[in-house]
Amino acid sequence: MMMRICLLAEGAYPYVTGGVSSWIQSLMTQMPEHEFIIFSISAKDYQGAVRYPAPANLLEVRDIQLGTFLTDKIIPGKRYNISEEEKEAFLSIISGGKETNWPLLFDLIVSDRIDSILNFLASKDFFDIVQTLCRERFIHVPFTDMFWAIRSMVLPLFLCIHQKMPEADLYHSVSTGYAGVLGALGKHQYNKPFLLTEHGIYTREREEEIIKASWIKGYFKDIWIDYFYNLSNCAYEYADEVTSLFERSREIQVEIGCKREKTSVIPNGIDVNRFKPENRSRKLGIHIGAVVRVVPIKDIKTMLQSFALVQEALPSAQFYMIGPYDEDEDYYTECLELVESLNLKNILFTGEANVMDYLSFLDVLVLSSISEGQPLVILEGLAMGIPYVTTDVGSCSELIMGPSDAFGQAGSVVPVMHFHRLAKEIIALARDENLRLVYGENGRKRVQELYTLPLMVNRYESRYERWGQAVWQESVFN
Amino acid sequence: MAGIGFQLKPLYEQSHFLSQLRAYGYSAITAVGPMFLTILLVIACREWLLYLEAPTNEINVFMAAVQYAFIFSQVLIGGFLFVISRYVADQTFMEKEENVLSSMYGTIGITVFVGFIAAVLFYWSSPLPFLFKLLTYLFFTELSIIWVLSMYVSALKDYKKIVKSYLFGTILAAFLIWMLTTVFNQLTAIAVFIGLTIGFLVIIVMLMRNIFQYFQLNNKQYFHFLTYIEKYPALFAIGLFYYLGLYGHNMAVWIGDRGIVVAETFMMAHYYDTPVFYAYLSILPALILFMVTVETTFYTVYKKYYGRILNGFPLQDIESAKQEMYRVLRLEILFLAQVQLLVTILFLFVGVRFLPSLGLTQDQIDIFMVVVLGSWFLSLMITIFLILLYFNEKKSAFLLTGVYALLSIILTSLFMNFFNQYGGGMFIAALISLIFGSRLLVSRLNDLDYTTFCYQPIVQKTTTTKTEWLLKKIGSLD
């Protein structure tokens, strides 16, 4: 049965390369029998620069570029005849406590009554709502800051909801947050199934960001964090099924409010046929690489420090940083400065590159991220039979150590930011070719058995069919 | 946050609207001092000529020319007055004081230019001697410049020096007039104008010297302030209508039955104009009192209210400051009304007692009494108008001055034509405008929260005004 699937993603496909985008691309190419619409939410206005070729079954990429709305003309001081219940529903997304009446809120924002979100945020009704909130709940919070905080919080959410939702047979959000709420909206508006896949734990990621953010002051951090939990709960509440990439992430979903019976695990998969370890050719010396974007979350600096230690032990070692470095120019500059001060000699920042060229000769792969979901780069490295040294984040240890299968170790796992341990493990692998071969073989087998593209695609496809059927039956029998 | 977090900032954190709005008050009042000085000087001149038994036609032509110079110089700069006061407040705040001096040159340049064209057209077919035309034109130009300077001088806050300048110029003018009329026995309007022109020139020179000591840089962006007319067109209209309101009803009488033409040049109506000018003197105490009370009691609570909004106070503290501000405002307006009533009664007594000896007929004294009573309403209306400006209610202030200007002209014409009554039109117009203004003020204050918050733009946009574009085009702006 052909279905039209609406994929909802934040700030990714088709403009940003990375795990989620590749995942979306392979899902579409592997399910030619289904049609896809992509609803892509981003803050910036991406001019052109599409990074993925559109498959034939991709009907439409609908962009919501939030920044572009901000230049619209605003008419302040309007009245929208907001009912008590609607006001209540709005209040509850900020103040928590009571369950949010999402259906009412969706209907309000989608309706013709709200002519523009910016006008609404400049309306008397909006002010009244903030005033009520501060009178009843946030009595001691600085009012002006609260007013602006709430404007900032709901602006992207309401802008997203205010867009017309494309009609589809199934809505599939690739994260909670705004994309999750939009999935819920799709289900609400068209009464179609809603599937939620979390690659990481969105709420936790936001929480970490907010705690670090210098522009949010003290008490407001809690309000912001609660707000994002609330958005996630909306998605969990509405979703028919919630999948995660690995067990640990599923546990967190349950912990933060998703019903256990909705959850399941669908690991990522890669096209193993593309990876041919037999084509690998050893190069002279020892070659250590990392397939990463040069951004802070990958903790490149820790990696560089460990490389310095490796260089001390193995002066001939060569290092490769494979991936784009133009995303965070400042961070890249800092990294180059660190290279300088650590006196790292044989290191190459390749920029965007064909990874396969490097996988053909690298001896050891490294990942030092602070946070990860289930990195495709690990799967790819393992598929090429290259051992990995990674930090213990996301599903890295599941992939490397394989606690629930019999394939054995495929590398080593070290604590986050621990560059001594990282270096020690790299050195151990670099010095022992035999160990590398054993680990590489273990990893290759694990990926071939458990993390292949057909497996992943089948699992999603079965979900699509199951929920498509359920709705179909429901509509037939009603 | 995944690239989708907005950081909306309370814009008025960078703003300074208290000082801006305060400047409106100054600009409305600072012109008052020189205005009354001029009225008194002119009355003195007239009495002096009468005392010396100068020919009646010389006295008439002197009075007519002075009145025209006085009224039309104010109408000419009226529009610019509020615009430059805002501009100067902004530039001073942004520490771009080099723009201040250039805007002064720019305003003077434009007013002198427009004034010159107006004067040429006005005098084109007049039979008056060229020397008279030249002197009165110079006097008119000097007055225009003095009104502009008094705006800039208010920034100096060195009132001693300002008063000294006016005093010195006035004494010099008086001395010269005394010399010419008694020693040289020139009992002509030209002689008096020679004295006035030289005296006022000295005032200009002394004021300018004070201004130069304070603002020393001039970046030659003479017409940059014109962008403010485009940005705040209401301000220009407010100033224009403010002065049209003050003198419009006189002009209505000029073209009526009581109007006469002096020296085939000046249309006027002594019958009406003379009592009106005497009556207008009664507004002076109200305006001075307003200045004093606003700057002490009201400004304190006003600052407290906005201070609490800006400095992160919780809602209830902001509310209590607002209530306090309203309470003080009520008391102040009531107090002003009472004091002004006393002034009005005093004027009535003094007027009835002394005006006959200044040559006013019984009819004129009746007009005087009605207009004095009307001025009571007018002064309260001006108070309300200034308060509206303090709350940045430019539109309301514009409405109020516009309504008064139109009503006073229309009603004066109606009363004159249908009831042969003079002064009643102004009285009723002032009363209606006062009631209208009070209602406007109450409604604006009821909406104060909304206007303070909702009207803050959600995102700051810097737009290039058309004026800026034009100025750049003609190379008068870097």
Q: Do residue B3 and residue A145 have CB atoms under 8 angstroms apart?
A: no
Which range has highest mean pLDDT (A74-88, A268-282, B96-110, B367-381)?
B367-381
| pLDDT, tens digit (0-9, with 9 covering 90-100), for B13-34 | 444 555 555 656 555 555 566 7
Alpha helices per DSSP H over A256-395: 300-313, 329-342, 355-359, 376-383
Residue A391 region, left (φ>0) first, then alpha (ψ -120 to 50), else beta? beta
Contact check, Cβ <8 Å, A155/B458: yes
Structure tokens at B13: 């954190």
Residue A131 sits at the chain B interface (C-beta within 8 Å): yes
Residue-wise pLDDT tens digits, B388-429? 888 888 899 999 999 999 999 999 989 988 888 888 999 999
pLDDT at position A308: 95
B313, B449, B454 member nearest A122 (Cβ): B454
* pLDDT above 60: residue B9: no
pLDDT for residue A286 is more than 60: yes
**Contact residues on chain A for B395, CB-CB shorter than 8 A:** none
Q: Closest approach of chain B CAs to the CA of A46, in angstroms? A: 12
* Among A69, A146, A148, A154, the residue to mutate for chain B (most B Cβ within 10 A): A148
Q: B111-134 in b/e burial notation, b at 16+ Cβ within 10 A?
A: bbeebeeebeebbeeeebeeebbe
Contact residues, chain A, for B9 at CB < 8 Å: 148
Q: How many beta-carbon pairs under 8 angstroms link A with B?
A: 99
> Which residues of chain A lie closer than 8 angstroms to B460, CB-CB?
none
Choice among A392-401, B248-257, B363-372 with the minimum mean pLDDT: B248-257
Nearest-Cα distance to chain A for B382, in Å, is 27
Which candidate from B4, B10, B458 shows the least CB-CB separation from A11?
B4
pLDDT, residue B2, reads: 35
A175 CB neighbours in chain B (<8 A) are 2
Mean pLDDT computed over A70-76: 80
Closest CA to B62 of B84, B42, B77: B42
pLDDT of residue B264: 78
Place of tokens 């209210």: B305
A282 neighbors A317 (Cβ within 8 angstroms): no
- Whether A10 has its CB under 8 Å from any CB of chain B: the answer is yes
**A373 pLDDT tier (thresholds 50, 70, 90):** confident
Q: Tens of pLDDT along B442-476?
A: 999 998 888 888 877 776 555 566 666 666 666 55
Q: With 70 as the cut, is the pLDDT of residue B336 above it?
A: yes
> Distances in Å between the alpha carbon of B35 and those of B31, B382, B437?
6, 16, 25
Contact A77 B451 (CB under 8 A): yes
Q: Torsions phi, psi of B34, nearest 5?
A: -60, -30
* A421 Cα to chain B: minimum distance (Å): 30
Q: What is the pLDDT of residue A298?
A: 93
> Chain B residue closest to A147 (CA)?
B453
Please report the pLDDT score of residue B1 as a whole number: 31
- Chain A residues in contact with B458 by the CB 8 A cut-off are 70, 74, 118, 121-122, 151, 155
In whole angstroms, what is the distance from residue A330 CA to residue A321 CA?
A: 17
pLDDT > 90? residue B86: no
Contact B4 A43 (CB under 8 A): yes
Average pLDDT over residues A398-418: 92
Touching check for B312 and chain A: CB below 8 Å? yes
Indicate yes or no: CB of B458 within 8 angstroms of CB of A126: no
A72 — contact with chain B (CB < 8 Å)?
Answer: no
Asked if pLDDT for residue A13 goes beyond 60, the answer is: yes
Task: Give the pLDDT of residue B189.
Answer: 83
pLDDT at A173 over 90: yes
Residue B309 near chain A (CB below 8 Å): yes
**How confident is residue B64, by pLDDT bands cut at 50, 70 and 90?**
confident
- Residue A434: pLDDT band (50, 70, 90) is very high
The confidence score (pLDDT) of residue B11 equals 44
CB contacts under 8 A, A 411-440 vs B, are none
Per-position DSSP letters for A366-434, written without gaps between them? EE--SS-SS-HHHHHHHHTT--EEEES-TTHHHHHH-TTSSS---EEEE-TT-HHHHHHHHHHHHH-HH
The answer to whether residue B183 neighbours chain A at the CB level (below 8 Å) is no
- B166-195 pLDDT, tens digit per residue, is 889 988 998 998 888 888 878 788 888 899
pLDDT of residue B5: 44
The answer to whether B318 contacts chain A (CB < 8 Å) is: yes
| B448 and A CB contact within 8 Å | no
Please give the share of chain B, as a percent, with pLDDT higher than 90. 27
In the predicted model, is pLDDT for residue A65 greater than 90?
A: no
pLDDT of residue B318: 92
pLDDT digits (tens, 9 = 90+) for B223-237: 888 888 888 888 899
Examine the pLDDT at B12 and tell me if it is beyond 50. Answer: no
CB-based burial of residue B396 (10 Å sphere; 0-12 exposed, 13-18 middle, 19+ buried)?
buried
| Alpha helix segments (H runs only) across A163-217 | 177-190, 202-212
Mean per-residue pLDDT, A60-80: 83
Q: Which two tokens stand for residue A24?
A: 């979306």
Q: Name which residue leads in pLDDT, B165 or A362.
A: A362
Q: What mean pLDDT is predicted for residues A353-357? A: 91
List, in order, residues 6 or more apart from A267 with CB less than 8 Å away: A245, A246, A374, A395, A450, A451, A455, A456
Mean pLDDT over each residue of chain B, to the nearest integer? 83
Residue predicted with more confidence, B104 or B296: B104
CA separation for the pair B19, B26 (Å, rounded): 10
Reported as a pLDDT band with limits 50, 70 and 90, residue A251 is very high
Amino acid (1-letter code) at residue A450: L
- Residues of chain B with pLDDT > 70: what percent? 87
pTM of the model: 0.79
For residue A210, which residues of chain B lie inside 8 Å, CB to CB?
1
**pLDDT value for A468:** 84
Query: Taking residues A203-216, what's their average pLDDT?
Result: 85
**A42: closest chain B residue by CA:** B4
Query: From CA A394, how far away is CA A373, in angstroms rounded?
Result: 5
Q: Cβ contact (<8 Å) for B6 and A66?
A: yes
Q: Is the pLDDT of residue B10 over 90?
A: no
Q: Tell me the mean pLDDT in the region A195-215.
A: 87
- CB contact A210 to B (< 8 Å): yes
Positive or negative: CA dihedral A153, A155, A158, A160: negative
A251: Cα separation from own chain's centroid = 17
First to last CA, chain A: 21
Rounded Cα distance, A116 and A111, in Å:
11
Check residue B13 and give its pLDDT: 42
